[in-house]
Every structure is written in C-alpha cells, then in structure tokens.
Amino acid sequence: MIIRPARNVRGELKVPGDKSISHRSIMFGSIAKGRTEITGFLESADCLSTISCFRKMGVEITRGSDGTVTVYGRGLRGLKAPSEVLDCGNSGTTTRLISGILAAQDFETTLTGDESIRKRPMRRIIEPLSLMGADITSVLGNDCSPLRICGRPLHGIEYTTKVASAQVKSAILLAGLYADGPTSVTEPDLSRNHTELMGRYFGADITSSGTTATVRPAAELYGRKVEVAGDISSAIYFITAALLLPGSEVLIRGVGVNPTRFGSVKVLREMGADITLLNESGEGDPQADLLVRSSGLKGVTIGGSVIPAMIDELPTVALAACFAEGTTVIKDAAELRVKESDRIALMVKNLRAMGADVEETTDGMIVHGGKPLHGARIDTQKDHRIAMTFAVAALLAEGETELADGDCVNISYPEFYQDLDRLTIR
Ligand code: S3P
C-alpha cells in the first residue's frame, strides 16, 4: 500500500460500527432467549470471528440485505458443543469474552487464533476463571491460546484485577451470569463498560460503583434491538488527519461518545484541538456527531486513569504529538505492549523511520514535537491500528509512504482506505 501526502481532508463521514459493542451484541444475543436485531453491526474480520464461533455452537445468525444482523438466541443454557476448534482469528475480545461464557457450559471447547493471538497473555483470564471453579488451561503451557475449556459449575468471586482491562472484566462478568452467587470485579481504573451497559439492557443484574462491577446470577436474558454506535477507535484516524492538515474540516456522524471510550478527545482538546459535539443522543451507549477543524496543538502529559479510556487511540494520539508544540509524555500505558503488536516499540520504530523525535520508555513514550515527517517503509506487523495510524502519518509526511501488509485494516475497518481517499484533497 503506497500513500502520498495530502493537502487536507474535508467532508462528511459515517465510520463503521463499534467493534467492542458489535462483539458483545452477538454474545449477549446468542445467550439470550428470543431474537436480537442488530443495526450498525461492524462486519470486520474480528466480529466475523465472534459470529463464526457462536454459529459453531448452534446459534443461527443471519444478515439482511440492509446489513441488519439477526441473532436467534438459544437462552443462557442453550449453546451446543461445537464439533470443531473455535477459531478466534486475531481477536482478543472474542478469545477472552467467550472464555467467560464457555467456562460455565456443560461441554468442552478449544479456542485458537492467529499468530498474534497465540502470543497474547491469557493468564489474566485463566486466573480469575479458575478461581470461579473453571477448568481452563493453556494447551501449550505458555499462558497463551490455544485454550482448552471444560465447563464446570461456577462460584461467585470478588476479584481485583492488576490491569484495567475490559476484556478481563467482561470474561469474569459473563462467567458470573452462570455462578452460584454474586461476582464482583474491581479494576485499578475504569475500563470500557459496554458489557455492563449491554448486560443490563438484556436483563442481567449488573451494578457498577466506582471501578467495581457486580453481577448476580441470571435466570434468563432476553433478546433486544441493538443499535451499534460508530467506533471512536475508527473515527480517531479522521479526527487526527483533520486536526493536523491545515484547512481541514470533517464531520463524523453517529460516533459513540461513552466516557469510558472518550479519553482521546478529552486529551486532544487539552492539547488545543477544535472538536465540537453535535446532536448528542441515545441512552446506554450515547452517540454524537463530531465536527473537527484543523488546530495547532501543544504537548501534554498523558497518564493515569485516562489511559484505559483511550488505549486503542494512543498510537494515533502519539502521531498527533509529533505535530504538537513542545513535548508529550505518554505514561502508564504498558498495556500497549500486549495488544495485537507491541504498540510502544512499533510506534517508536516507525515514527523514527519517518524522522520523528521519539524516545521509548517502559510504559509509554516521550514525543518531542515539531520535527517534519518524511515518507518511509512502515512495518505494520499486521496490526490494523498501526497500519491506519501510519496511513494518516503518510498524508502528513513529505514523499511517499509504503505500508507493509496494509490490508490488515480488515480486522476492524474494511473500507478504511476508500473512506480516507474520499475525504482527502491532494
Ligand atoms: C476491548 C478492550 C480493550 C481494547 C480492545 C477491545 C473490548 O482491551 O484494547 O481493542 O472490547 O473489551 P483490554 O481490555 O485488554 O484493555
């Protein structure tokens, strides 16, 4: 994939549906009773992995010509033993969340995935699910996928996580639906709360207080209509391009603005970004249109409780920091090292290849803004967010940029290059 510099980006856009919410809509829909109709579902490789896993467990899931996805739920205890291994592809969300459900079934399953997923840490779910009574093991004994899960009756636990992770929290809460008493999870900082919101919407007894979420055993959940908001993690590429390319103005319609996901906009505004929220609507997971205009940015320190609320957007905000006046420090973000790639190491390597002044730290990076970027060959390691971040960097650089394995954007945003092209003025 070759990308050339741009003059600016202008126009209107609707980004695809939120990946986290799309996964959860299939999962809750599958274990609920009755029909769940999902509009705005994200048809990307990751979410299709979730659909494929539940189909293999006997759930009928169909797609209408207008993109509406219908899940014919089988009820809390209605999943069937799959006859083959469940392939979660590249998806950490599929692997970790589904493990919570599988831990309570009366059958055995094996989960696997691609090269990246088979390197990601699974001890973080193996430990709490085992404490609940689950029989879950890493087949190769390396605390990674493939995982073998033999369903067992589960007990409620009170668990404190070491890291703020919605995937870990959600695995425990989903298992807790099947436990013999209340289960609570306390995290160091609040991670995205889509599981709590959607669980409640489907009829589960889930309460939240501070960074603790508590679920009580459920008798049954009931299928609902779900409208998936646009993904802020996909909007961030257009927000950043519009902020940094002079003379840009972009209106992004229907973006999810749940505060547990909105850290990037909060931080960019602190840096001086002109981002206006229009037409806010929706309960549960609220949405708004975002109007973004080019802005001069200033360096800031980014750390603490805002990190989980912008974890997937941090690489793109680091790119923005290269164009800010002064220094930006990103800290408390060691979790970036265990995403689809080591996003700290890979961001620093690629930003440096383009001429940026960046230092790697154990839990983040230090970006000295103001050095112009030039085109380079970018190593994406098939990480979709790295590819999209550097597609934006390429618009801002002098000369051509080449993205290796640029088609990895299919993981979360199959139409990314077409949308970017449509808004770009050269
Ligand atoms: C997700 C949670 C985050 C995020 C991932 C999606 C989710 O991961 O990085 O892209 O849908 O719950 P962690 O929970 O591991 O931080």
Candidate from 50, 122, 165 with most ligand 1 atoms within 8 A of CB, to mutate: 165
Measured CA to CA, the distance from residue 373 to residue 394 in angstroms comes to 8
pLDDT band at 396 (very low <50, low <70, confident <90, very high): very high
**Upstream peptide bond of 146 is cis (omega within 30 degrees of 0):** yes
Query: In CATH terms, are 2-16+229-425 and 19-227 the same topology?
Result: yes
Residue 183 to residues 176, 210, 278: CA-CA distances in angstroms? 5, 16, 38
Per-residue model confidence (pLDDT) at position 27: 98
**Atom 9 of ligand 1 has which residue's CA nearest to it?**
312
The whole-number pLDDT of residue 294 equals: 98
Q: How far is the CA of 306 from the centre of ligand 1 (A)?
A: 14
Please give the number of the atom of ligand 1 that sits closest to the Cα of 338.
15
Arithmetic mean of pLDDT, 221-241: 98
- 186 contacts 111 by C-beta, under 8 angstroms: no
Instruction: Return the H-helix or E-strand segment holding 240.
Output: helix 232-244
- Quick: pLDDT tens for 287-329: 999 999 999 999 999 999 999 999 999 999 999 999 999 999 9
Nearest CA to ligand 1 atom 16: 165
Do 255 and 15 meet the contact criterion of CB atoms below 8 Å apart?
A: yes
pLDDT at 86: 98
C-alpha 339 to ligand 1 mean position (Å): 9
Joined tokens for residue 300: 């800031």
- Residue nearest atom 11 in ligand 1 by C-alpha distance: 20
Q: What residues are annotated to the active site?
A: 312
**Homologous superfamily, domain 19-227:** Enolpyruvate transferase domain (3.65.10.10)
Residue 283: what pLDDT? 73
Q: What is the mean pLDDT of residues 237-256?
A: 98
Q: In this predicted model, what pLDDT tens digit does every residue of 11-50 receive, in sequence order?
A: 999 999 999 999 999 999 999 999 999 999 999 999 999 9
Q: Would you state the pLDDT for residue 158?
A: 98
Q: Which two tokens stand for residue 54?
A: 């539940």
Question: Tell me, what amino acid is at 218?
Answer: A
pLDDT above 90 (res 407): yes
Q: Amino acid letter at 374?
A: H
Dig out the tokens for 50 from the structure: 């979730």
Q: Separation of 165 CA from ligand 1 center, angstroms?
A: 6
Distance CA 79, CA 66 (A): 28
Query: Ligand 1 centre and the CA of 210: distance in Å?
Result: 19
- Per the CB < 8 A criterion, the answer to whether 265 and 275 are in contact is yes
Confidence check: pLDDT of 150 > 80:
yes
Q: Which of 221, 211, 153, 165 is nearest to 184 (CA)?
A: 211
Among residues 155, 57, 69, 179, the alpha carbon closest in space to that of 109 is found at 57
Choose the residue to mutate in 20, 24, 49, 93 for probing ligand 1, maximizing ligand atoms within 8 Å of C-beta. 93
Atom of ligand 1 nearest to the CA of 195: 12
Q: How confident is the model at residue 157 (pLDDT cuts 50, 70, 90)?
A: very high
372, amino acid identity: P
Q: pLDDT grade, residue 190 (50/70/90)?
A: very high
Which residue among 18, 19, 20 has the greatest number of ligand 1 atoms within 8 angstroms of its CB, and so is best to mutate?
20
Encode pLDDT of 56-91 as tens digits: 999 999 999 999 999 999 999 999 999 999 999 999
Categorize the per-residue pLDDT at 284 as very low, low, confident or very high, splitting at 50, 70 and 90.
confident
| Amino acid letter, 222 | Y
Tell me 40's DSSP state.
S
Query: In terms of Cα–Cα distance, which of 19, 163, 161 is closest to 92?
Result: 19
Please say if the pLDDT value at position 411 is more than 80. yes
| Beta carbons of 190 and 305 less than 8 angstroms apart | yes
Ligand 1 centroid to 234 CA: how many Å? 14
Class of domain 2-16+229-425: alpha beta
Average pLDDT of the segment spanning 152-166: 98
**For residue 285, is pLDDT > 90?**
no
pTM over 0.75: yes
267 CB-contact burial (10 Å; exposed 0-12 / middle 13-18 / buried 19+): buried
Helix boundaries (H) for 309-354: 314-321, 343-353
- Domains of the chain, by residue range, sit at 2-16+229-425, 19-227
**Test site for ligand 1: of 26, 49, 167, most ligand atoms within 8 A of the Cβ:** 167
> Which residues, in sequence order, are CB contacts of 24 under 8 Å at separation 6+?
97, 170, 194, 195, 198
* Ligand 1 nearest atom to the CA of residue 164, by list position: 16
Cα dihedral across residues 326, 343, 310, 17: positive or negative: positive
> Tokens representing 426?
């050269």
CA–CA separation, 152 vs 141, rounded Å? 21
How far, CA to CA in Å, does 100 sit from each of 88, 224, 275, 315, 388?
14, 21, 38, 29, 31
- pLDDT band at residue 282 using 50, 70 and 90 as cut-offs: confident
Instruction: Give me the residues paired with residue 197 across strands.
Output: none
CA of 92 to the centre of ligand 1 (A): 7
Which residue in 297, 285, 293, 236 sits closest to 265, CA to CA?
A: 236
Write the pLDDT tens digit of every residue in 191-205.
Answer: 999 999 999 999 999
Lining residues, ligand 1, CB within 6 Å: 20, 93, 165-167, 170, 191-192, 311-312, 335
**Using CA atoms, how far apart are residues 14 and 259, in angstroms rounded to an integer?**
20
How far apart are the C-alpha atoms of 221 and 205, rounded to whole Å? Answer: 10
What's the confidence (pLDDT) of residue 171? 98
Q: Which atom from ligand 1 is nearest to the alpha carbon of 233?
A: 10
- What is the atom index within ligand 1 of the atom nearest the CA of 339? 9
- Kind and range of the H or E run holding 266: helix 263-270
Element (DSSP H or E) covering residue 420: helix 416-423
Inter-residue contact 17 to 230 (CB < 8 Å): yes
Using CA atoms, how far residue 112 sits from 79, 88, 150, 423, in Å, is: 19, 6, 15, 38
Averaged confidence pLDDT in the chain:
98
Burial (CB < 10 A; 0-12, 13-18, 19+), residue 49, is buried
- Which atom from ligand 1 is nearest to the alpha carbon of 20? 11
Cα–Cα distance, 77 to 102 (Å, whole number):
11
CA 20 to centroid of ligand 1, rounded, Å: 7
Confidence of residue 417 (pLDDT cuts 50, 70, 90): very high
